[in-house]
Amino acid sequence: MKKNSTLKKLLAAALSLSLALTLAACTGAGNDSGSSGASSSDGTAAGGSSASAAKTEYKIGLVKYMDHASLDQIEKNVQKELDAKSAELGVTFNYADYTYNGQGDGTTLNQIAAQLVADGVDVVVPIATPAAQVMQSVVTDEDIPIIFAAVSDPVTANLVQDMDAPGGTITGVSDALNTEMIMKMMLAVDPDIQTVGLLYSKSEDSSKKPIEEAKAFLDASGISYVEKTGTNTDEVNSAVDALISAGVEAIFTPTDNTVMQAELSIFEKLNEAKIPHYTGANSFALNGAFFGYGVDYDDLGAETADMVVDLLVNGADPATTPVVILAHEAATINTETCEAIGLSLDDVKAAFATLGIGVVEITTAQSFS
């Protein structure tokens, strides 16, 4: 055990009462899913792995940064795939007792991390960059591996040394954006666009790289841009008001959790202003944005769970396990918003087809069914 272990365990014990009070809602969200994450076990995994024969139950610490459609979708699919692997391999992947929601709060995330250390989990699965960064700061000193989900730029976030050779106890699945393609699709819809709004949170490392990529593309294309940021829903609403007043003709947002959480409160004012919102995930479109383009979060959740299983059952080494970057697929268009802002869905499809991009149609809802 490392020298900080005893101190951290004492800290975890001291925080346990506070954690029980402040995270009641968080654990409830994780534990009311109707699945225990457990299956019957005969002590033998498929293929006769000695690791699985020696251990038949694994504790999975599953930590979601906050509630919104993107992260909820990932969480559900991590759990779904772990349940499937439990049945297939005859071992128990117990996530239900160790699932938490950080509510977008750093103090809460630190308390969760301390509790997971005290619980002796076998792996921590943080969903989104801020959750991964807090988990790294606490659990890596205890030699607990991390398999992250939906970290857009793990190198910039200082989670891994290299995408192909992480070099530590952390690896996972990235939802890195193809920002250039989003810009090209924006111009395909409106070749004469003059001013673009950039809407994001400065507090999120996941937004830094795609925003810089967007600026570089727009500069090279001779298109001006206006930046507005927010660190909470009220500030995002104010930022949107400012962008509307500035006369932007379209808005770009990467996979930004802060803006995603605010999307249901901003899409109607953007619709009224006839401004298309181009975003980095289909869940934005589910919550009212005109457009989303990114990785499939169902697939991302399943891939994350598969990496967890490979680590625990097959003994995969995070230091040499490359970060997985999933391929981008079709663009997602909210057909209600498309009509509200005065665009023809057929024209949008035709514009995207020139770039080899198909379209998935969606309507506004709070979450995926």
- Confidence at 368, pLDDT banded by 50, 70, 90: confident
Q: Tell me, what CATH number does 162's domain have?
A: 3.40.50.2300
- Claim to verify: residue 283 and residue 212 sit in the same structural domain: yes
Q: For 146-182, how does the pLDDT look when each residue is reduced to its tens digit (9 = 90+)?
A: 999 999 999 989 999 999 999 999 999 999 999 999 9
- Claim to verify: residue 285 and residue 347 sit in the same structural domain: yes
pLDDT score recorded for residue 44: 36
Mean pLDDT score across all residues of the chain: 88
Q: For 92-115, how does the pLDDT look when each residue is reduced to its tens digit (9 = 90+)?
A: 999 999 999 999 999 999 999 999
Contact yes or no for 123/73 (Cβ under 8 A): no
- Claim to verify: residue 124 and residue 160 sit in the same structural domain: yes
Do the domain assignments include residue 369?
Answer: no
Distance (Å, rounded) from C-alpha 364 to C-alpha 45? 43
pLDDT score recorded for residue 55: 84
pLDDT score recorded for residue 205: 86
CA angle 332, 155, 322 (to 5 degrees): 80
User: Average pLDDT, stretch 28-38?
Assistant: 40
Inform me whether the pLDDT recorded for 49 exceeds 50: no
Instruction: Provide, rounded to the nearest whole percent, the portion of the chain with pLDDT above 90.
Output: 79
Distance (Å, rounded) from C-alpha 209 to C-alpha 196? 17
Q: For 291-334, how does the pLDDT look when each residue is reduced to its tens digit (9 = 90+)?
A: 999 888 999 999 999 999 999 999 999 999 999 998 877 899 99
- Claim to verify: residue 167 and residue 116 sit in the same structural domain: yes
pLDDT score recorded for residue 367: 84
Do the domain assignments include residue 16?
Answer: yes
Distance (Å, rounded) from C-alpha 338 to C-alpha 271? 9
- Claim to verify: residue 233 and residue 347 sit in the same structural domain: yes
pLDDT score recorded for residue 327: 80
Instruction: Please tell me the pTM assigned to this model.
Output: 0.81
Instruction: Provide, rounded to the nearest whole percent, the portion of the chain with pLDDT above 70.
Output: 85
Closest by Cα among 23, 210, 203 to 99: 23
User: Average pLDDT, stretch 267-296?
Assistant: 96
- Confidence at 249, pLDDT banded by 50, 70, 90: very high
- Claim to verify: residue 165 and residue 185 sit in the same structural domain: no
pLDDT score recorded for residue 206: 85
Hey, CA dihedral for 229, 232, 236, 239, is it positive or negative?
negative
- Confidence at 212, pLDDT banded by 50, 70, 90: very high
* Domain hosting residue 48, numbered range: 5-175+296-325
Distance (Å, rounded) from C-alpha 282 to C-alpha 293? 6
Structural domains of the chain, count: 2
pLDDT score recorded for residue 369: 67
- Claim to verify: residue 55 and residue 162 sit in the same structural domain: yes
- Claim to verify: residue 106 and residue 79 sit in the same structural domain: yes
- Claim to verify: residue 103 and residue 50 sit in the same structural domain: yes
Phi, psi of 253 (to 5 degrees): -135, 130
Closest by Cα among 215, 217, 216, 235 to 225: 215
Interacting residues of 353 by C-beta distance below 8 A, sequence separation 6+: none
* Tokens matching residue 34: 């109707």
Distance (Å, rounded) from C-alpha 30 to C-alpha 35? 9
Inform me whether the pLDDT recorded for 6 exceeds 50: no
